[in-house]
Amino acid sequence: MPSQTRRVAITGVGVVAPCGVGRDAFWQGLFRHQAIGDIRQLESWDPSPWFDSPKDARRSDRFSQFALAATAEALAQAGELDVDPAHCGVMIGTGIGGITTNEEQIVTRHDKGDRRVSPFLIPMMMPNAAAASVSMRYGFQGPCEAVVTACAAGTHSIGNAINTIRYGRADVMIAGGSEAPITPTALAGFRNMTAMSSSGVSMPFDVRRDGFVIAEGCGILILEEWDHAIARGATILAEALGSASTADAHHITAPAPGGSGAVRCMELALEDANVPAASLVHINAHGTSTPLNDAAEANAIAKVFGEQGPIITSTKGVTGHALGAAGALEAAAVVLAIQHRTIPPTVGLEQRDPELPPIDLVTDPEGRSWEPGPSMSNSFGFGGHNGSVVIGPA
């Protein structure tokens, strides 16, 4: 167990998402109806505001561009960090990394030959490119790592960053996840494995749910040792209380029956955060809209928290499933829900699956007002990766 003497503050949030670029636009987007279609993509993404020249932008894969944009917003909110660069680190996860560049360059080689392959292919496609880009942009010399655990990567990155601060390996961490997975071959693979929605609608926990809607985006949190944040006069948005990571050890894509791995992960996260199950107020669920995932997660939540459990939403009805960025976007949504004192709705949920336990899902389009308290964000990834992070009001 990590030392609890170093508390972890959240002092900045940055978001790039199809429903809104920037945390304010993202928050407003969480209350809108979703578009129809099996992808959620930023249709008019322009990276130029975050680069010195178009050439620099072209030498950065789309997922790294997202990370630089979201980090810039989060750092602007956090203010002057006043930290030794050796004590500021970066932890940005991804599920697939620079697949856009990878696929484009494979086509280039096939059509035009070896000599036309970009010399920037490797540094652009590598999964650690986003974390490395942020580190180099700002001169942060502390731990700089990329977690690659499929759809749990963003949550695991935040959890690892929390512990990095707790253990004293850094005073500030830029943490989150970034993903730009929408390429022709990736889409073909997901469609052919029948993971994606054939209706083009994400319907978390709905009896009609038929798969996820794939998305791209990035969520970044600025995590900071509590006393360091206080000393520099920072505005503390929320507190990162704890996290956990487990493996199902069951199947490469399907969750363990009854959500047993998720149960253990949530229980360990509560223990790590020193929060009793009865005190947890809200969960931003993984809620992908796949038949097996939603059933496993709903049963796991009911087992851990009972019938009078926390208020639950899945924001993927709007955002779609951004794979390795999903958990970071949802952790950002939890922080914003605390700030706005409103839990956003589970957009797409119209006919609750009667086979699921009666968990308390937010269905009102206006969301639900609440008294902010300890909250959890869940992520579960292909390979049986489970991640939970617990966040509370400042």
φ, ψ (nearest 5 deg) of residue 329? -60, -40
Q: Is the dihedral of CA 187, 192, 194, 199 positive or negative?
A: positive
Confidence of residue 103 (pLDDT cuts 50, 70, 90): very high
CA atoms within 13 A on the CB side of 327: 36
pLDDT over 90 percentage in the chain: 95
CATH of domain 9-393: 3.40.47.10
**Active-site position among 228, 282, 286, 385:** 286
Confidence of residue 4 (pLDDT cuts 50, 70, 90): low
pLDDT at 131 over 80: yes
The residue type found at 156 is H
**pLDDT, tens digit, 9 for 90 and up, residues 20-61:** 999 999 999 999 987 788 899 998 899 999 999 999 999 999
Tokens of 257: 């029956």
**Residue 128 CB burial class (10 angstroms; 0-12, 13-18, ≥19):** buried
**What are the CA-CA distances from residue 226 to residues 5, 167, 239 (Å)?**
10, 13, 8
Per-domain boundaries in the chain: 9-393
The residue type found at 64 is S
pLDDT at 144 over 50: yes
Q: How far apart are CA 135 and CA 267, in angstroms?
A: 33
pLDDT at 1 over 90: no
Pairing of strands 88-93, 172-179: parallel
**Active-site position among 151, 228, 282, 385:** 151
Tokens of 187: 């889409």
Question: What is the model's pLDDT at position 371?
Answer: 98
Enter the pTM of the model: 0.97
How do the residues of the chain divide into helix, strand and coil, expressed in percent and rounded to 5?
Answer: 40, 20, 40
SS3 state of residue 374: coil
Tokens of 386: 């489970």
Question: What is the model's pLDDT at position 3?
Answer: 44
- By the 8 A CB rule, do 324 and 153 touch? yes
| Look-up of token digits 């699956």 | 353
What ranges in 232-341 are assigned the alpha helix state H? 260-273, 291-305, 316-319, 326-340
Per mean pLDDT, which range of 27-36, 156-165, 334-343, 374-383 is the poorest? 27-36
Strand ranges for 211-310 from DSSP E: 214-215, 217-225, 238-247, 282-284
Q: How far apart are CA 347 and CA 315, in angstroms?
A: 7
- Residue 286 annotated as catalytic: yes
Average pLDDT, the chain: 96
- Residue 340 annotated as catalytic: no
Q: Is the dihedral of CA 271, 272, 275, 281 positive or negative?
A: negative
Q: Tell me what the mean pLDDT of segment 335-352 comes to.
A: 98
Question: What is the model's pLDDT at position 86?
Answer: 98
**Residue 93 CB burial class (10 angstroms; 0-12, 13-18, ≥19):** buried
**Active-site position among 156, 282, 321, 385:** 321
**pLDDT, tens digit, 9 for 90 and up, residues 247-264:** 999 999 899 988 999 999
